[in-house]
Structure 1
Amino acid sequence: MSRKGQSITLSVSERDKTQLEAIALQFGMKWGDDPNISKLIKSIAQHELIVSKNNDWQDFRIRALHRCISALTDIGQNEQAEIIANLLLERSELSVPLRKEIEGFLNNSRPSWRLQIDHYILRQQPFQLAYQDALEQVLNFTVRYAKIRPHEKRLYLDCWCKETEGNLDIPELKHNWCFRLDGINEASVTEITQKWLNDLDQIDVEMHLLNKLAFAYQPKPEDKIVEWIPDQPRVKRVIRRISNTFWFIREIMQYSSDCIVVSPENVRSLIKAKLITLCDNYAIVVGDNNNQISP
């Protein structure tokens, strides 16, 4: 039976074929255990993978970023050094010796389980994570979405897990977990057959910014709406998507006198509880009448 229009023939060198197979493996495109170039080409055609220029950085930029790796490592900022190293490895301009040097730096600075996690995230491949916590309990998580993100100068694995027991966040976000990577000494990471999700669970939080903060505020990528409230001069309304109340509250508490969380009520209640604890710590009595506070 004719398959006209359903197949193409590629004329490439053995070296290019090997590189295409490596890319296919990198993104989990296989036929059985073997790399599948056809799946790779299909993903490009369907815009699941974006093809763009990757050879237009000038040499001075490469050298500057390379020097940053050493400078950050010297001051103990290994996580930031790794971020820049990975950024450079994505570029095709790197010479072979420089690429090998950077790969050697990453391989020596990361345990094997971390390399596996990075690989699965790149492939959008769900995985099982098991590690032992500080109390020597073995914890198991079924991870169906993950990304590496910095929080307060440390790298964390932010992930959506099937398991929710022990998660202290609000019900809407209980599937989201945040693991500090340098707090994991050893872990077992194995591939599982499940569907990769598009993102972490998220909710909208509305807050009102007052006084100088309203004018100084710089919109963040997670913000959906940033606007002045027409009938309330000097008050800015911000609606932001959040996936973790702990980090959100840590951020806004430093601006608590000029930032009011309006909704949702369960997030607002968490902030109220923190403020009450703060008053208790300083022996401040919150009055019942008009919410007056008296020392």
Structure 2
Amino acid sequence: MSRKKETLTLSVPPGTKEQLEELARRLNIFWGKSPSPSGLIVAIAQQTPEVRKLFTLNPTQVEALLQATKILTDSGHAGQAQTLLSLVLDQGELEAPMRQSLWQLANQPSVAWRTQVDRHINNQQPFRLLYLNAQDEELEFTVRYAEISFEEKRFYLEIWCEETNDLKNPDYPELVHNRCLRFDRIKAIEPMDGLWREEGLDFLKVYLHFYRGMVKAYEPRQKDISEEDQVIGDVRQVVRRVSNPFWLIREVFRYGEDCVIVSPDSVRDRFQQKLIDLCRQYNLEIRD
């Protein structure tokens, strides 16, 4: 006995029927040898696996949207970030742990720390900052200077603070007052009285030598000292004010043998130790 069917009349703009047929063809929904718009509508209503896949974000799209969410959050656009996060949760192909983590993130109170920081920077207003570091330790900083930096696809807050006790054995004593913070780890910001530090962040003057193709290919950075950028023979010398050598060392690794840290010794030695540790990790012999 044939199943009773209902009739549905649709009024659609010109060309829509052809578009529905093409969509049905993509989903392999046919009536006989022809793509079936009616079958497509039934599949949509029944939320078949094929249709869900059509409207689902693949892992590559999820990763791109999550990166955009981080940038929007760090830039102070918390509302737009939450919209993207909701889209990922609704339409993304997510494993259970990832979905749970994103769900918790979406339900956290959204505070636009970037907006507050920008206001204090513009007003040269010192502030106190409560921060949760990667070891889940709460730290409080008295901030006398701050600026925003963009490193490896996200924004960071760089500060000059009065506190130094949280650094037990600093690699660079000259930079002991500098910190580089993630916006999503900030817990509170409160303005305070006092003077803004006109000198900005502490920094080391680092000399870099570039070789071969990088002599011409190197693109100057904002903190490079332009008047000391020069080419001597086959070497390009670049001098940079560095407030956080961590990022510089990661950058130099990408240049490989085409870049050498010349000075100061503290940064050069730190990079050398990183190379030694890497060689040992791959069982390469280090000869003195």
Asked if TM exceeds 0.5, the reply is yes
Paired with 1:252 and 1:189, the residues of 2 have a C-alpha distance of 34
Match of 2:229 in 1: 226
Q: CA offsets per residue over residues 80-114 of structure 1, 9 Å max, x none? A: 44688x8xxxxxxxxxxxxxxx8975999950554
The number of residues matched between the two structures is 197
In the superposition, the TM-score normalised over structure 1's length comes to 0.59
Q: Which residue of 1 aligns with 2:156?
A: 156
Give the Cα–Cα distance (whole angstroms) in 1 for the partners of residues 222 and 133 of structure 2.
33
Contact 1:161 1:177 in 2 (8 A): yes
State yes or no: 1:75 paired with 2:78.
no
For 1:222-248, what per-residue CA distance to the aligned partner results, in whole angstroms no more than 9, with x for missing partners? 11121111xxx3111111111101011
The amino acid that maps onto 2:65 is I
Letter in 1 for 2:203: Q
CA distance in 1, matches of 2:244, 2:266: 13
Task: Rate the CA distance shift 1:221–1:210 in 2: closer, same or farther, 3 A.
Answer: same
String of CA shifts for 1:22-81, please: whole Å, max 9, x gaps: xxxxxxxxxxxxxxxxxxxxxxxxxxxxxxxxxxxxxxxxxxxxxxxxxxxx82313544
Distance 1:195 1:227 in 2: 38
Task: Spell out the pairing of 1:102-141 with structure 2 (5 A cutoff).
Answer: 105=80, 110-111=110-111, 113-141=113-141
Is the CA contact (8 Å cut-off) linking 1:128 and 1:141 kept in structure 2? Answer: yes
Residues 253 and 166 of structure 1: CA distance in aligned 2, closer, same or farther (over 3 Å): farther
Q: Is the 8 A contact 1:142 1:162 kept in 2?
A: yes
- Please state how far the C-alpha of 1:154 moved relative to its aligned partner: 1.6
Unaligned runs of 5+ in 1: 1-73, 87-101, 289-295
Kept after mapping to 1: 8 A contact 2:70/2:81: no
What residue is the counterpart of 1:62 in the other structure?
none
The residue aligned with 2:239 is 239
Q: Which residue number corresponds to residue 27 of structure 2?
A: none
* Alignment partners' CA distance in 2, 1:160 and 1:154: 20
Separation in structure 1 between the aligned mates of residue 132 and residue 160 of structure 2, nearest angstrom: 19
Give runs of aligned pairs for residues 36-115 of structure 1, distance below 5 A. 75-76=65-66, 77-81=68-72, 105=80, 110-111=110-111, 113-115=113-115
Superposed CA RMSD: 3.0
Answer whether contact 1:125 1:196 (CA < 8 A) is retained: yes
- Separation (CA, whole Å) in 1 of partners of 2:281 and 2:135: 29
1:202 matched residue in structure 2: 203
Secondary structure of residue in 1 paired with 2:213:
helix
SS at match of 1:272: helix
User: 1:22 — aligned with what?
Assistant: none
Report the Cα distance in structure 2 between the residues aligned to 1:131 and 1:220, rounded to whole angstroms.
29
Match of 2:264 in 1: 264
What is the letter of the counterpart of residue 75 of structure 1? L
